[in-house]
Amino acid sequence: MALKKQLLGCRVLFALALLLAVSSALAAPLETYSEKLASLIEPAKLATLKKRAANPRINKAVAILEDARADGHPVEAVAVDAVKRAGYTNAALVKMTSAELVRNHDIATKLGVLNPEGLEKLRRGNAATITAGPYKGGKTSVDHIVPVAIVPELDNVVANLELLPLRVNESKGAKMGERQRDYCRRFQAAGVLTEERLR
């Protein structure tokens, strides 16, 4: 009887190991996701977009990062690889852009929008319905950290875009606080803003 139990246990372990091996083999490589993401955030493409046209790309980027995470890839690694593949060469801007992409994915996680319904909307570049926290039931939106009414050249800069509940976005207005000033200083150091423009 004990031997039968041991054999059954061995079969179960073997089946689990086989299932894990097959699922790992079926997982898409990290590059599959970073290449998709890179095509959304290429600076040359972003520079040709109309006003606020990069906003839907942030939604799509969040969905790509979640798909990569579900396939077993670290979100940070996908974001960094995508930013480099997209042609960002300034080290400070690489760091800012990849960090903002990761932060947006983290915000989406906290807002509970990475469920099947939310991901379907995000993949199309649309707002998702928030399912967690104080803004539950509301919609997401993409906002500019540094207001474009004040610094229009940061309109389609990925590192200046963040996912927010729509209600928070609508209540913000074009305000320049210490966070916005800090971002401007960092954009100047990264070569996105001139020193004259910063002043």
Query: Domain for residue 40, yes or no?
Result: yes
Strand, helix or coil for residue 99? helix
Query: Domain for residue 22, yes or no?
Result: no
Query: Domain for residue 19, yes or no?
Result: no
Query: Domain for residue 39, yes or no?
Result: yes
| Helices and strands in the chain: count of H runs, count of E runs | 10, 2
pLDDT at 4 over 80: no
pLDDT at 19 over 50: no
Query: Domain for residue 21, yes or no?
Result: no
- Residues with Cβ within 8 Å of 103's Cβ and at least 6 positions away in sequence, in order, are 162
Query: Domain for residue 54, yes or no?
Result: yes
Query: Domain for residue 160, yes or no?
Result: yes
Which residue is it, tokens 């971002």? 183
Summarize pLDDT for 77-90 with one digit per residue, the tens. 999 999 999 999 99
User: CB–CB of 104/61 below 8 Å?
Assistant: yes
DSSP 49: S
pLDDT at 48 over 90: yes
DSSP 63: H
Query: Domain for residue 18, yes or no?
Result: no
pLDDT at 183 over 90: yes
Question: How many domains would you assign to the chain?
Answer: 1
| Rounded CA separation 40/118 (Å) | 19
pTM of the model: 0.85
Summarize pLDDT for 85-130 with one digit per residue, the tens. 999 999 999 999 999 999 999 999 999 999 999 999 999 999 999 9
pLDDT at 10 over 80: no
- Domain extent, residue 85, equals 28-198
Give the pLDDT mean for 56-79: 98
Give the pLDDT score at 118. Answer: 98
